[in-house]
Chains A and B, each alone.
Chain A
Amino acid sequence: MSRIMPLRATLVFIAAFLFGCGRPDSDSIRLTGWIASPIEENLTRTFIDTFEQRHPGLPVRYEPITANYMDKLLLMLATGTAPDVVMIEAFWIPLLVEYDVLLPLDGFLVRDPGFFPDDFEPMLLDAFRSNGALYGLPKDYSTLALYFNPAMFDEAGLAEPPRTWEEFAEYARRLTRDTDGDGSVDQYGYSHAEDLEYSLPFVWQNRGEYLDAQGRAAFGEPAFAEALGFLQRMKTDGIAVMPSDVGAAWNMDAFGRRRVAMAISGLWAANFLNETHAGTPYRTALLPAGKKAASVAFVAGYAVPKRTRNPDRAWQLLRYLTGREGGRIWVKSDVGLPARRSIALESKIERDPLKRVFLQSLDHARIWQFRVNQRVLDETQSALQAIFLTGAAVQPTLDDLKRRVERGGRFHADVRGHEAQNRSGPPR
């Protein structure tokens, strides 16, 4: 054995090791997405099979991300390793446009007369638009609505869901009961979740804002604090609970366990209730309104990363995913409502007592989308936890939050030189 042999062998080994890191399977279209439910995953697989049958020569490789979707996708986008078509929540569009990692789709739309972009709910399509260019297409959406337990309403002598904040609090009081007579309350009126999106409808209904039209903090204003104060008071009055107070994982889990009579959630919660708490009766209603009606709309869709190797093939898959045929498949999943009006009509959403509520809420809903550093949202989350979990005073907590995030220009720490763009900020 000569002395140089081990070195050469080492180099061969390293080369072989690094070679293994290369990209396999370069001719298929890579698709990624999160998995909202097993039903959705099965549908995606059926969907890919159908697409491949209709498009011979365009194999699809599905690479779902099962956890921490955005953490992983952001890294992939930054390093140019993202799949050709990526599922994306409209929330992230302003940030990703600013990072310049998405492909504008307007050219494809112009050259593709059979796609009918006018069929989309305009508000949902606009959620993927930035500075006039389109960076994604909506797949489905859900607004927030009120879930209530009709059996508990009957027992409390209530016929209709609450329509105003006053009724909401009053009903919650009547629904808070000691059902087994052991002297302690075991059924509460309402379960609130401390995340911003569940307080926002109340803020907007109170004509408050999280961010103003210029993208600056508006959560120090009285209208914001008033809305949080109303919700916090329901908790201190003992007629509302946080999910953890009753040993539930999240607010709809508390609802499913029959510990609360009302909770706010999206259409996805219906799937959860049917699968996990099949015995709990539920109905849905529009959110109780304050000074005006308001709700939040969460929009999911697909986009194409700018650094995709074959934009035309990616477009073929994207147009199918968000086209009419694709929409007909998605509508079966029940994780969201169809983004296309024609599909909504076809599937008779208007006549579905459960789903039509989410459709009607869209009239007064605003898109869940802020152009703000994630750090600010996390700081907001901590402040909301302080308010709802520890009973911290609302106004001082919000003032402190404002001070923390505005210090040192950290509010938009990664958006130097860009005008902030906030869909949910300025009233539409």
Chain B
Amino acid sequence: MSEAMRRKTGPGRPADMPERHREAWAAFFFLSPGLVVLSLFVFGPLIFIFVVAFFDWNLFRPEQHFLGVANFVELTGDELFFAALRNTTVYVLGVVPAQTLLALLLALAVNQNIPARGFFRAAFYIPAITSSVVTSIIFLWIYSKPGLLNYVLSQFGIVGPDWIGSPKYALGAIMALNVWSTSGYFMVAFLAGLQSIPASLYEAARIDGASPWARFRHITVPGLKPTLFFVVTLGIIGSFQVFDQIYMMSAGGPVNATTTLSYFIYNSAFRYFRFGYAAAAAVILFAIILFVTRVQRKIVRPEAP
């Protein structure tokens, strides 16, 4: 209970407990629409995945066959699954550091007293609130053979490829799009982090004669640790689950170059109608994300100063 609330209700009053109960009820009442919808469409299916993964689950049959771990065994021999796993790993390793670094640089830049600061903040944030379908379609055009990117390259005498149509470049092109579209969002997180660092620390350091790099290294970086943890965690989860841009731009191709785990899961469930198999792959994706996030927590340690 917060300080303000304690003052209002007064500590140790006999009516305190029923009051708190009533508050809890009211809280649940106001939360209930959200909780019902979330339980029905998010938490329920989420838990159900762990059941479906052990079945040969086909919506067209009234009864489902229990398979044990057969779906998982089959996954270990599925080349497409491993291609998806490899693509996803490349994607995460490329996108997460790039978007984090870019977001940090953007935040540091717009945190300075530069002209038109508000404009730049808004401009960098716009991709984050634009529908991914829209950005995908715009980038399809930018990346196409006669598109904007190749036009710019041609000014330097470079003949660019069809970026999305080439197995060599398609994944990298989609990764670049994602770095662009997500770094604005994380920039705002870093900005909030930067502004929560007390200015007095910087003043004290300046009086002590600390160089700008030393101030950054010893005040800004430790001060941003909780934000960094937040950004990297969300970045990792989001990157592991990349789907919409793949679905819109390349449909996993060409030659499976952009088939990611979530796209593999989608196809297995909704195109091949193998819900159990898709659920098994989803469980593995869940385990990977859980593991990576825990490792990451060990490395960044948000609570450490």
Contact = CB atoms under 8 A, between A and B. Distances in A.
Given A247-B145, A389-B254, A414 B272 contact: yes
B271 A6 contact: no
A342 interface: no
Interface string A1-30: 001001101100110010000000000000
Nearest to B273: A414
B272 A246 contact: no
Contacts of B77: 407-408
B271 A71 contact: yes
Interface of B: 21-22, 25-26, 28-29, 32-33, 36, 58-60, 74, 77, 79-80, 144-147, 162, 165-167, 253-256, 267-268, 270-274
B165 A100 contact: no
Contact of B255 (A245, A389, A414): A389
Contact of B79 (A14, A71, A404): A404
Interface residues of A, number: 38
A403 to B, nearest CB: 9
B87 to A, nearest CB: 13
Contacts of B271: 71, 374-375, 378
Nearest to A376: B272
Given A3-B25, A10-B29, A247-B162, 11 more contacts: A6-B26, A6-B29, A78-B59, A244-B145, A246-B145, A247-B147, A373-B272, A382-B253, A407-B77, A408-B74, A414-B58
Given A99-B60, A381-B253, A390-B255, A9 B145 contact: no
Contacts of B74: 408
A260 interface: no
Interface in A354-387: 373-375, 378-379, 381-382, 385-386
Contacts of A74: 270, 273
A6 B256 CA distance: 53
Contacts of A100: 60
Given A375-B272, A379-B80, A385-B253, A9 B60 contact: no
Contacts of B145: 244-247
Contacts of A78: 59-60, 273
Contacts of A408: 74, 77
Contact of B167 (A6, A247, A390, A414): A390
A75 B255 CA distance: 27
A345 interface: no
Contacts, number: 88
The 6 A-B pairs at the shortest CB distance, nearest first, are namely: A78-B59, A247-B146, A6-B29, A244-B165, A99-B60, A247-B145
Interface string A281-322: 000000000000000000000000000000000000000000
Contacts of A414: 58, 272-274
Contacts of A10: 28-29, 32
A413 B274 contact: yes
A117 B212 CA distance: 86
B256 A245 contact: no
Contacts of B270: 71, 74-75
Nearest to B35: A10
Nearest to B25: A6
11 contacts: A3-B22, A6-B29, A10-B29, A14-B36, A247-B145, A247-B162, A378-B267, A382-B255, A389-B165, A390-B254, A404-B79
Nearest to B272: A375
Interface of A: 3, 6-7, 9-10, 13-14, 17, 71, 74-75, 77-79, 99-101, 242, 244-247, 373-375, 378-379, 381-382, 385-386, 389-390, 404, 407-408, 413-414
Nearest to A407: B77
Contacts of A389: 165-167, 254-255
A390 to B, nearest CB: 6
A100 B79 CA distance: 31
B21 A3 contact: yes
A190 B162 CA distance: 19
Given A13-B32, A385-B254, A390-B255, A413 B272 contact: yes
Contacts of A6: 25-26, 28-29
A187 to B, nearest CB: 16
A115 B290 CA distance: 61
A10 B145 CA distance: 56
Contacts of B58: 414
Nearest to B32: A10
Contacts of A374: 271-273
Contacts of A385: 167, 253-255
Contacts of A381: 253
A305 B59 CA distance: 15
Which of B145, B165, B255, B268: most chain A CB closer than 10 A? B255
Contacts of A7: 25, 29
A242 B165 CA distance: 10
Contacts of B36: 14, 17
B255 A79 contact: no
B17 to A, nearest CB: 12
Contacts of A390: 167, 254-255
Contacts of B59: 75, 78-79
A14 B34 CA distance: 11
A79 B58 CA distance: 11
Which of A13, A75, A244, A245: most chain B CB closer than 10 A? A244
A386 B80 contact: no
A408 B272 CA distance: 16
Which of B21, B25, B28, B58: most chain A CB closer than 10 A? B25
A199 to B, nearest CB: 16
Contacts of B255: 382, 385-386, 389-390
Nearest to B268: A375
Nearest to B161: A244
Nearest to A3: B25
A374 B60 CA distance: 16
